[in-house]
Amino acid sequence: MRDVDRTDGATSETNAACPRGRPINKTEILHMRVQHKIPLMVCGMLAIFGLAAVHAETLYRTGFEAANEPFGDFVAGTLSNQNDWNQKGKAEVSTQSTHAGAQSVTPGPGDGKYGAGIEKRFEFPKKPELWVDCMVDCDGFGGFVWVTGTSAASGEKPFPAVYFFITSNGINVKSGQDAPSVVVPKVKMDGWHRLTLRLNFVDKTYDLYVDANLLKEGIPFYTAPDFGQAEAFAGVTLGGASDPESRAYYDDFSIATTFPLP
Ligand SMILES: [Ca+2]
């Protein structure tokens, strides 16, 4: 027996599932539909998460080791622009202080006024979100990190999107040439610490994590006088303090489209 509810087109049936032979009411039909939909919803969610897992990409990763590096091995000693990590100072692939393995990288000492830095450019397809992750040991002196980007106004010329200094008191963020520096919640940056940045090129902000703890979210990208804010990722500069005695070491550097694991 099959009835059609003409008000909503729903079909009610009397069959083995309805032993008393009474029509199934609308509430029961709705319940059955929901029950039927739950497995479909679960399948859909699994498919979405599966696709997300497939699309999670590690775009670059290095421990600056001598072997088994997926994007190029490093020889201990003078950096000499190995694997397109460009240097201006006396940068080295170092065995002095490492977070993992036998080697790390240091931009070398400052010149008394500015800290030395090492820089690498990347040419990834444009992404709305990127995660930059690294370990840093500032050896008590401090350092600085820039993430550079490009905008329609800057063309191919990169300029800072993320601009901060690591000090003994915490992390000092600059959001513009004339903008005041902001010290995010104080963290003691002695020894090795993990720095993680979630870059949002849609909102033009970033979130800052230290040792996987979110310290501050939604920090505006640096605003450059002629170029505005970065719209696409261009590269990274890792730097040390200005003191000639200073050394900052970096290790386990990666760029990915999702939160880096573990
Ligand atoms: Ca290493």
Give pLDDT tens digits for 101-135.
Answer: 999 999 999 999 999 999 999 999 999 999 999 99
For residue range 6-19, what is the model confidence (pLDDT) as tens digits?
Answer: 333 333 333 333 34
The string over 142-176, giving b where at least 16 C-beta atoms fall within 10 Å of a residue's C-beta and e elsewhere, is bbbbbbbbbbeebeeebbbbbbbbbbeebbbbbbe
Which of 77-81, 147-151, 208-212, 258-262 is the least confident region?
258-262
Confidence of residue 178 (pLDDT cuts 50, 70, 90): confident
Question: What pLDDT was estimated at residue 20?
Answer: 44
- Cβ atoms of 99 and 192 within 8 Å: the answer is yes
64 CA from centroid of ligand 1 (Å): 5
Question: What pLDDT was estimated at residue 134?
Answer: 97
Residues present in the chain in total = 262
Asked whether residue 262 is assigned to any structural domain, the reply reads: no
Question: What pLDDT was estimated at residue 39?
Answer: 55
Locus of tokens 């490009």 = 150
Chain centre to alpha carbon of residue 52? 16
75 CA from centroid of ligand 1 (Å): 12
Spatial distance between the Cα atoms of 215 and 92, rounded to a whole number of angstroms? 30
178 CA from centroid of ligand 1 (Å): 37
- Do 77 and 40 belong together in one domain? no
- Do 154 and 205 belong together in one domain? yes
For residue range 16-70, what is the model confidence (pLDDT) as tens digits?
Answer: 333 444 455 555 544 545 455 555 555 455 454 444 444 678 999 999 999 999 9
71 CA from centroid of ligand 1 (Å): 14
- Do 252 and 146 belong together in one domain? yes
- Do 165 and 224 belong together in one domain? yes
- Do 90 and 188 belong together in one domain? yes
For residue range 104-113, what is the model confidence (pLDDT) as tens digits?
Answer: 999 999 999 9
- Do 170 and 183 belong together in one domain? yes
Asked whether residue 45 is assigned to any structural domain, the reply reads: yes
- β-strand partners of 173: 164, 182
- Last residue of a domain, which of 13, 37, 54? 54
Confidence of residue 182 (pLDDT cuts 50, 70, 90): confident
- Which residues lie closer than 8 Å to 119 by C-beta, 6 or more apart? 85, 86, 87, 88, 235, 236, 237, 238
Please give the share of the chain, as a percent, with pLDDT higher than 90. 61
- Do 140 and 238 belong together in one domain? yes
Asked whether residue 25 is assigned to any structural domain, the reply reads: yes
- Do 219 and 240 belong together in one domain? yes
- β-strand partners of 135: 194, 251
40 CA from centroid of ligand 1 (Å): 46
**Burial zone of 220 (CB within 10 Å; 0-12 exposed, 13-18 middle, 19+ buried):** middle
- Do 92 and 11 belong together in one domain? no
Which helix (H) or strand (E) covers residue 239, if one does? strand 232-240
- Last residue of a domain, which of 20, 35, 54? 54
Asked whether residue 261 is assigned to any structural domain, the reply reads: no
Kindly report the CATH number assigned to the domain that includes residue 93: 2.60.120.200
- Do 65 and 167 belong together in one domain? yes
Question: What pLDDT was estimated at residue 189?
Answer: 81
Residue 249 sits in which domain range? 58-256
- Do 37 and 88 belong together in one domain? no
Tell me how many domains the chain contains. Answer: 2
Asked whether residue 137 is assigned to any structural domain, the reply reads: yes
- Last residue of a domain, which of 54, 71, 95? 54
**Burial zone of 97 (CB within 10 Å; 0-12 exposed, 13-18 middle, 19+ buried):** middle
97 CA from centroid of ligand 1 (Å): 9
Strands 159-166 and 171-173: antiparallel
- Do 49 and 93 belong together in one domain? no
